[in-house]
Copies of this chain bind each other. A is one copy, B any other.
Amino acid sequence: VSERHGDATTDPGLRSWLPVADGSDFPIQNLPFGAFVRAGESKARLGVALGDKIVDLRSLARAGLLDGVLPDALEVFSQPDLNAFLGRGRVAWRALRTRLSCLLSVGLAEMQAAALAERALVAQSDVQMRLPLRVGDYVDFYSSLEHATNLGKILRPGGEPLLPNWRWIPIGYHGRANTIVVSGTPVTRPHGQRKAAEATGPDFGPSRMLDFELELAFVTGDGPPQGTPLPAARAADHIFGVALLNDWSARDLQAWEYQPLGPFLGKSFATSLAPWIVTMDALEPFRVRGPAQEPAPLPYLALEGPQNYDIALEVDLGPHRIARTNFRDMYWSMPQQLAHLASNGARVAAGDLNASGTISGSAPSSYGSLIELTWRGTKPLELPDGTKRGFLEDGDCVTMRGWCERSGAVRIGLGAVTGHVTAAP
């Protein structure tokens, strides 16, 4: 039995009138959303990626091509971020996707006839990408069983690696929203308190254990009013799409600060987000069952059917591939994370960002952070250029990529999130 679905917008037979190279991240079946700045302008515009171009949504709205889909499309797509559109909810998201798919597909002359192509299409190489949303609340989960187990072994040697609550609760915490930056933004090595095991007190200086974390984040629309939980079965309706995320982490700062209230300065200095948000509708053909959950989730977290997504992931350090894994084996699914987050009545809002936690598989080559790949620096990576890495050095560039592939479906890419480390001030 296939667990995969889709609709006309994911049909493998669909072709855009704009030529798209085979193997592009952004065929017409994808249409991810982003914010960009054109040369000579300062205000961000909103668009969807198609091949190596971007379709400017405001231009389409001005030409009346989104009439009947979104009542105030011109206003919504004159914003510098996606928040207003996110606030319109699932019906509007789907209606727009269907319309764009139609406008951009072969055989439909409406768009070409509007002589809009020149104005509405811009080359990705000619723009700068911006953060696609104003992030409201940012939550970082901890939903890979393998990652949580590895961290338990590394940070609490001798103890039970997985804490007793982990298989009951999609563990998470709030992170700093206003230090989330778009892919490509340099990341400054943070200062902070570090305490050597044998020292009587900490000292203060640049982190010596700077790390990345390979994650996938989902963006939400508005949920019910504060005080009203979101049922698990409805949670997926409030998830707009996903983007790659690098949760930069200073392990020495984190180890000394995190008891008893959790990570704070070890994480808050920077978090990098990919520029393209790939919709759940585009990912639909790649929906799969996740791992069995044992014990069975409590009823408020119980969900029928496949809730995970088959997304191949890889991490490069400079030119060297250092990890490959897949999102499909995450223990807690995105709808479960969201249902848990909202189960106490906390409000879910358009623009909230919720990250998966580090995505690690069972093989050592599939670990999504250096602390796992090098076992806290004790087994440094030996790179093909002859250098070694326990943790990140100044100048290091980390790039994460993700994509979905299966026979019978068109490849859907997530693009990349990249960032390089600059020296502490």
Contact = CB atoms under 8 A, between A and B. Distances in A.
A259 B163 contact: yes
A224 to B, nearest CB: 10
Given A226-B179, A295-B201, A173 B345 contact: no
Interface string A222-237: 0000111100000000
A268 B344 CA distance: 8
Contact of A345 (B178, B191, B341): B191
A219 to B, nearest CB: 14
A260 interface: yes
Nearest to A163: B259
Contacts of A186: 227
A171 B261 contact: yes
B204 A265 contact: no
A179 to B, nearest CB: 5
Interface residues of A, number: 65
A352 B268 CA distance: 14
What is the interface of chain A mostly: helix, strand, loop, or mixed?
Answer: loop
A74 interface: no
Nearest to A250: B344
A343 interface: yes
Given A204-B299, A300-B204, A345-B269, A176 B340 contact: no
Nearest to A424: B345
Contacts of A415: none
A61 interface: no
Interface in A185-237: 186, 188, 190-193, 195, 201-204, 226-229
A165 interface: yes
A220 to B, nearest CB: 11
Contact of A175 (B142, B174, B343): B174
A264 B193 contact: no
Given A136-B178, A163-B259, A202-B168, A345 B190 contact: yes
What's the number of copies of this chain in the assembled complex? Answer: 2
A192 B425 contact: no
Contacts of A352: 178
Interface in A92-146: 136-139, 142
A345 B174 contact: no
Given A193-B168, A203-B298, A176 B178 contact: no
Contacts of A201: 168, 295
A383 B261 CA distance: 32
Contact of A173 (B173, B177, B191): B173
A403 interface: no
Among A192, A227, A298, the one with the most B-chain Cβ atoms within 10 Å of its Cβ is A227
B165 A259 contact: yes
Given A193-B298, A202-B298, A204-B298, A171 B349 contact: no
Interface in A282-334: 295, 298-300
Interface in A256-284: 256-265, 268-270
A20 interface: no
Given A136-B177, A227-B425, A257-B171, A341 B265 contact: yes
A346 interface: yes
A256 B165 contact: yes
Interface of A: 136-139, 142, 155, 163, 165, 168-169, 171-179, 181, 186, 188, 190-193, 195, 201-204, 226-229, 250, 253, 256-265, 268-270, 295, 298-300, 340-341, 343-347, 349, 352, 422, 425
